[in-house]
Amino acid sequence: MPPIKNCTICCRLRDRETSFSKYLDPDLDRPFPEAADRLVIVAALGMKDAGKRHVRRCPECGTLYDYLSWHEYFINGSEENEELSRMNTAQAAVFIRAQARLLEALRREVDFLESSAGRLGDFIDRGRPGDAEAGEALAAMQEQRRQAAELRCRLQEHVAVLRRSCPEIIAAWAEAHVRVCRSFQASPGTGSENDGTARFVADETLSRWQRLAEGGESFIAIAEPWLDGYLERLDRELAETEKGT
């Protein structure tokens, strides 16, 4: 992020801005500086009551701000207060990683349901189930596929809106995966005949994550049987605290 003073929006906002308005008493109004209107609300995941609390982003330099609003009720009219606080680099990094973890949690749900449906499909095709067993497996498989499709849509929507409102979140999520894929590419392998396939899967997965930021598909499956320990490595990449702190 460039320094605040080089940004035509952020240079007109102090680290903390407040606004105040009182019902039916416009003389007392003290709005945010106009530059605050140019900030864009981040369509963040997991935000409850986003009208009262959300994050805004400067479209020019990417600086993030915490937004908070609250009412106070009085007999002679309610008062409305707002507060806008600029995040420092560390606070922004914490927010971005937390959002990336939520995207990843959604991706894993889809991945889990699709893998599970796939195993049921294999069982129906090759497991020689009896009629009743096959019927049950088919119903379960169809339900898992339905749930997976629904969550996949939700993931796609989140990725689409975040690409516009806070591309840094998509980048952080993708970069964590890219680092894990590279760690598999760099590992010497086990010397088994599967090494070639594992290397191929790591290459393919890497290129899909590299395409994500530019508009590639939003759901990317991880073939864990070939990439043993992938998710644990990713959890470390997206952990709450920076490595070494």
Q: Among residues 64 and 178, whose Cβ is nearest to Zn ion? A: 64
Q: Among residues 10 and 169, whose Cβ is nearest to Zn ion? A: 10
Q: Among residues 60 and 109, whose Cβ is nearest to Zn ion? A: 60
Closest distance between Zn ion and the C-beta of residue 33, in Å?
13
Q: Among residues 1 and 160, whose Cβ is nearest to Zn ion? A: 1
Closest distance between Zn ion and the C-beta of residue 53, in Å?
21
Closest distance between Zn ion and the C-beta of residue 40, in Å?
11
Report how far apart, in Å, the C-alpha atoms of 151 and of each of 54, 60, 105 are.
23, 32, 11
Closest distance between Zn ion and the C-beta of residue 32, in Å?
15
Q: Among residues 7 and 106, whose Cβ is nearest to Zn ion? A: 7
User: Site residues (CB under 5 A) for Zn ion?
Assistant: 7, 9-10, 58, 60-61, 63
